Structure 1
Amino acid sequence: MTAQPSPPIVIVAGPTGVGKSLLAIELAKKFNGEVLNADSMQLYSGLDIVTNKVTSEELSQAPHHLIGCLSPLTTDSTVGAYRQLAQPLLDRLLKENRLPIICGGTCYYIEALLWNILLEDGGNFTNDVDDIESELRDDPAQKSDPQELHNRLRAVDPEAAIRLHPNDRRKVARALQVNLRRGDGAYSSMLREQHRLGDHFSGPLRYPPDRLAILWLACRRDHLERRLDCRVDKMIQSGLLAELEAFHSEFNASRVGAGASKDYTRGIFQSIGFKEFHSYLLMSPEQRDSAEGQLALKSGIELMKQRTKRYAVQQEKWLRNRFLRHSDDNYAPVYLLNADSLVESDWTTGVRQPAFEIVEALLKSDQNILLKHSTRLATEPRGLVGSSSSLDDSESDSVRIGRSLELRCDHCGVTFAQRDQYKEHMSSRRHAKRMAGLRRLAARIAAGHSDPNAVVVIDRNAEAADGSEESAVDNNNDSGRSSSRAVTG
């Protein structure tokens, strides 16, 4: 008798607010499945409004795992810790012949479950950047400068230094830790081996590709932005501010008194809403009722809406640049679903019905149905979130970031993570002024002037011939002001 294959693994992915939880529950109810949360902020207990958790009614409709399982007061979730929690659950569901449905917007958590990526390698490694830095420093109480950390990495592993941007403090510290424990160049060697077995983005898939389905819920940007604005308004009406205030009070009582402080780059404080309403929550009740307080409230709401929309675009970008760009032998099949509308009839046609067909075909190994629904880069529809730029000829962000130190303007002392930022800088007023200053300085030295303020006549025709990139000045494109990923060093 032929052994029955294990159930497929279904991943429900897409930008925030697109309807991932709704589809995951519908799939779990129809196919005897269980939902594994892959949203980093929903791992924390409490704060149900700010993290937009599924409601108690929704939880009762299907088994859910990894929701509210960590204390936001004592724990900072990391991708390594998440994989240690989720992998045994995923494998258990497969063994019990239950359909695992991974659902969430933290795409690199999903990636860590499906592909072998460099997180742990049998050693006692931590993913907390402060713990790593305390191991690297002579004085554990002193915080390292990002450029200092990167310089140390360049000394022991130049290949890794080229790959990692100085501002990516966590990865730089992690690479340093690996090299410290395993020897110079160890991090790059491990990464090369991982890529040899997989592809440029990660190691090999953990599961057979014919047992995987990434259901990508996509939505036109204008539709999704209206939906997200309404969601923020609803969160405010549901008591978001009271929830934030209560947590701040609890945090202050438990941690600030012991010397801890709020860090909006770590843990639950990364949730959209904390930073945006910080100034408003610091006000007294009387101040909040004043004109200044109401302005701060209005500003916080608008900032939360803007950041939520930016986050949705970032999620979509990750899906495009990671899940769609794996090599053919390391590719988890992606199926695009049209989530433009949550109206029942539209949802059935665009999402529910094709999703049910895909999962049914996976269970029956019906390749014809799967082929009909499959999505690859060349056939991807345009007009969806984040799809305004062409993908066919452009490099992915991970490739650009992998070459970050090649994108450096030594004249201005700035390093860029993306090629378009570098090109923008090279045509900016800041760069042109810097180059003009350097040419004036060189002319003074050539003329034998010891006084740096001496007036020297420069041949403008010769200056223009030096290169068009130095004379093309765009008054509106100073990447030194606009690029948050640039670092001076």
Structure 2
Amino acid sequence: MIQLTSTFVSRSLVPTISPRLRLRPRSVVPMTICMNQSRMEKVVVIMGATGTGKSRLSVDLATRFSGEIINSDKMQFYDGLEITTNQISISERCGVPHHLLGELPHDDDELTASKFKSLASQDISEIVSRGKLPIIAGGSNTFIHALLVDRFEPETHPFSDKGSISSDLRYDCCFLWVDVSVPVLFHHLSKRVDQMMESGMLEELAGFYNPRNSGSKTKTGIHKAIGVPEFDRYFEVYPPGKNEKMSEWDPVRKAAYEEAVKEIKENTWLLAKKQIDRIIKLRSSGWEIHRLDATASFGKSSREVWDKTVLDESIKIVKRFLLTD
């Protein structure tokens, strides 16, 4: 544990809060107090395309800087599809408290950027009040923008042609961008989808499937998660059943399954490209984002390479950031 200032003294980690308890109404803090305090609050923000290791780095840093993590992946706010949304497991969290992760019921209305800003802002204040370091981690850059900019305009999409991105931020931020070269990331994401299917993603989606919702053209909330619409179309033809073995499927059904998996891979890659484009746009708009090249760690002996090329550099950056007034 690195002890830097009196603000971030070493304390025992706070137990993870029960998701159901977190759904209770939160206390109201006067806006004037929030505005004055937020100027002084230091926040680490971990960005990157899906599958690049944001969750991994957030835990690595949280265990070294007495931090707590706030999820900013809009699909991971909901419960019920842990494999499909690729939520970090309990064991991988290493005892670090996570906020806004799997807290909303899967049938909840869509979480807006404004609502996320409200919830995450209060989490930041509470984390700082405990002497801990808030770490934002996730790939939803529209939500990150809404939380951090000094003047958030909910009616305007910041990454649209008519949108604008401000470099005036509400917090003192340290931005870390975990980046991976395109060929390596493309291969990794394809392989990751296969691993997710082998880990029970098909069964998870089958249990989530509801024929009444599958025909809807307008998807909201977790129903927009990559994997749900692709397999909704598959389940419309091949409804989930009991004791079905893939080895007993006929060629037509196997082809339909493979097509759904292919679509998931393609849509995952499109998401990754969009996330990278938006990070580049934030960077070009004045956000001081430190790029960390994690390409070499996506291979053999990845832990050792990860520590050398990503973690060690991140620790140096965060340490300098926390020591700066």
Q: By the TM > 0.5 criterion, same fold?
A: yes
Rounded to whole Å, the distance in 2 between the matches of 1:50 and 1:3 is: 40
1:272 to 226, 230, 237: 226
2:63 to 21, 29, 47: 29
* Alignment match, 2:47: 13
Q: Give the CA deviation at 1:96.
A: 2.8
- From the superposition, tell whether residues 3 and 46 of structure 1 become closer, same or farther in structure 2 (CA, over 3 Å): closer
1:339 to 272, 286, 294: 294
Rounded to whole Å, the distance in 2 between the matches of 1:355 and 1:74 is: 36
Rounded to whole Å, the distance in 2 between the matches of 1:32 and 1:59 is: 13
User: Comparing both chains, which one has the higher relative contact order based on Cα–Cα distances under 8 Å and sequence gaps of 6 or more?
Assistant: 2
- From the superposition, tell whether residues 352 and 281 of structure 1 become closer, same or farther in structure 2 (CA, over 3 Å): same
- Superposition map of 1:416-427 within 5 A: none
Match status 1:312 vs 2:267: no
CA contact (8 A) 1:7 1:97 kept: no
* Alignment match, 2:22: none
- Superposition map of 1:363-378 within 5 A: 363-365=322-324
Q: Give the CA deviation at 1:280.
A: 2.0
Q: Give the CA deviation at 1:269.
A: 1.4
CA contact (8 A) 2:71 2:136 kept: yes
1:77 to 70, 88, 111: 111
1:109 to 115, 134, 143: 143
CA contact (8 A) 2:78 2:102 kept: yes
Match status 1:298 vs 2:258: yes
Match status 1:201 vs 2:235: no
- From the superposition, tell whether residues 309 and 101 of structure 1 become closer, same or farther in structure 2 (CA, over 3 Å): same
For structure 2, the 5+ residue unaligned runs are 9-39
CA contact (8 A) 1:42 1:51 kept: yes
Rounded to whole Å, the distance in 1 between the matches of 2:43 and 2:271 is: 26
1:39 to 48, 64, 73: 73
Rounded to whole Å, the distance in 1 between the matches of 2:294 and 2:60 is: 15
Two-structure CA RMSD over aligned residues (Å): 2.7
Rounded to whole Å, the distance in 2 between the matches of 1:204 and 1:358 is: 21
Rounded to whole Å, the distance in 1 between the matches of 2:123 and 2:173 is: 16
2:181 to 198, 215, 220: 220
Match status 1:358 vs 2:322: no
Q: Give the CA deviation at 1:163.
A: 6.8
2:308 to 346, 349, 373: 349
Structure number with larger C-alpha Rg? 1
CA contact (8 A) 1:117 1:203 kept: no
Q: Give the CA deviation at 1:292.
A: 1.1
CA contact (8 A) 1:9 1:213 kept: yes
CA contact (8 A) 1:264 1:275 kept: no
CA contact (8 A) 2:209 2:232 kept: no
Rounded to whole Å, the distance in 1 between the matches of 2:214 and 2:224 is: 16
How many residue pairs match? The answer is 276
Match status 1:237 vs 2:198: yes
CA contact (8 A) 1:33 1:101 kept: yes
Q: Give the CA deviation at 1:265.
A: 3.5
- Aligned-partner residue type, residue 241 of structure 1: L
Deviations 1:213-266 (A, max 9, x none): 1100111001111111111001100111111111114xx5xxx4xx99644542
Rounded to whole Å, the distance in 2 between the matches of 1:271 and 1:203 is: 30
Deviations 1:26-65 (A, max 9, x none): 0000000000000000000111011000011123431100
CA contact (8 A) 1:213 1:332 kept: no
Rounded to whole Å, the distance in 2 between the matches of 1:236 and 1:4 is: 44
SS state of the match for residue 43, structure 1?
Answer: coil
CA contact (8 A) 1:12 1:101 kept: yes
CA contact (8 A) 2:83 2:204 kept: yes
- From the superposition, tell whether residues 295 and 355 of structure 1 become closer, same or farther in structure 2 (CA, over 3 Å): same
CA contact (8 A) 1:262 1:269 kept: no
SS state of the match for residue 223, structure 1?
Answer: helix
TM-score computed with the length of structure 1 as normaliser:
0.53
CA contact (8 A) 1:37 1:65 kept: yes
SS state of the match for residue 69, structure 2?
Answer: strand
- From the superposition, tell whether residues 301 and 318 of structure 1 become closer, same or farther in structure 2 (CA, over 3 Å): same
For structure 1, the 5+ residue unaligned runs are 121-126, 128-161, 165-190, 192-199, 367-489
CA contact (8 A) 2:186 2:269 kept: yes
CA contact (8 A) 2:214 2:232 kept: no
Percent identity (aligned): 31
SS state of the match for residue 228, structure 2?
Answer: coil
CA contact (8 A) 1:287 1:293 kept: no
Rounded to whole Å, the distance in 1 between the matches of 2:180 and 2:141 is: 17
Rounded to whole Å, the distance in 1 between the matches of 2:218 and 2:205 is: 14
- From the superposition, tell whether residues 333 and 38 of structure 1 become closer, same or farther in structure 2 (CA, over 3 Å): same
- Aligned-partner residue type, residue 13 of structure 1: M
- Aligned-partner residue type, residue 277 of structure 1: F
